[in-house]
Structures are given as structure tokens and as C-alpha cells.
Amino acid sequence: MILGIVLGSVGAFGSPPARSHELQGNLVVKQKTKRLGLSISTDRQKYKRHGKIRITVMLTNVDYVEEIFVYGSLGAGYLSSLTYTIRDASGNPVVPTILDDDLPFPLNRNDTTAFVKLLPDHFLGTNYIDTLDRLNLKRPGKYSILVEYHSPISATQVSLRNFWSKEDGTIKSNVVYVEVLR
């Protein structure tokens, strides 16, 4: 009978500590995982037709424990580091009149000069400047812009520890809204 009470108590009171331990385990895993954040902003919210837009892109190490190495060139295009999606006010995709496709430089596995070490809370950034016409923002209206970061370099090409590689996936930025005036 006493054994039944003890086992019942362990069963009743044993679950919360196990769950708590499970959460602690997940937190430890998250702390050891490389984490990057991507944020964008524009130089204005309203643009005149046929004007230029500047999109500032910042890739930030949001892992508060360790440094992360990233490929140092933030070029635009599917074979490079950054791609963007533009949508009109109805949510329909806007297809640019020209697609950027910067190519990454060929790498030597032992040459680390092509990489940037991002300490915790540090960032690597660039400005993407283009005309509204090339982005196909020719008609007045409101548009949304989203940028995605994806490393063009595979982990097999690099001998750095904590390198954000192609295998680590894609990071999405915040969405920025702009308006093209009449």
C-alpha cells in the first residue's frame, strides 16, 4: 500500500520536473545552435515614379553565446546571398524587369579571407540600390518587400567552425511597405 502511494506520488509529481528538464534541454540546444537574424529598411516610405530605392540589409548574429562566420559578400541573386520578393497591395507577386544574379567567388578551402566573423550582436550589412522601373514598380500603389538570406557556400567547402552554410537554410527578413506616388 505504501509502495502504491509512493509510486502514485512519483507519477503525479514526477511529470512537471521531467517537462521542466525537457524545456531546459531545449534551451541548451538552442544556445548551441547558430542563429542569424535578417532585417531590412528603406530610405523612405513614399517614392516618386521612376525614382530610386535604397534597401538596407543587415545580417545579425543573434546567438548571444558564440561567434558565427558568414560568407563576406552579400550579393543579390539565387546563386548569391540575397533574394527579394515584392508584392502589390493585393498580395500578387511583382516580377522585376531584370533579375540580379551576382556569383560568389571561387573558394580555396583553406583561405578564410572571404568570410566575416560576426561576434554576438554584430552585423554585416549592405545597401541594395536600384530604380523602381527595374524592380517593376512603375504603377502607383502600395507594395511589400521581403528579403531572404541564403549562404551560397556549402559546409563541405569551408573548414571553419560555426560557419553559416547553404545547409543551414534560409532566413527571412521583416516585411517593409513602400508606396509609389502618382
**Rounded Cα–Cα distance for residues 11 and 34 (Å):** 37
> pLDDT tens-digit profile of 79-97?
899 999 999 999 999 999 9
CA 88 to each of CA 43, 91, 112: distance values in angstroms, whole numbers, following the listed order: 19, 5, 41
How would you list the strands of the sheet with 52-61, edge to edge?
A: 36-42, 52-61, 123-131
> pLDDT tens-digit profile of 114-170?
899 999 999 999 999 999 999 999 999 999 999 999 999 999 988 888 999 999 999
Query: Is CATH 3.10.20.30 correct for 35-181?
Result: no
Model confidence, pTM: 0.78
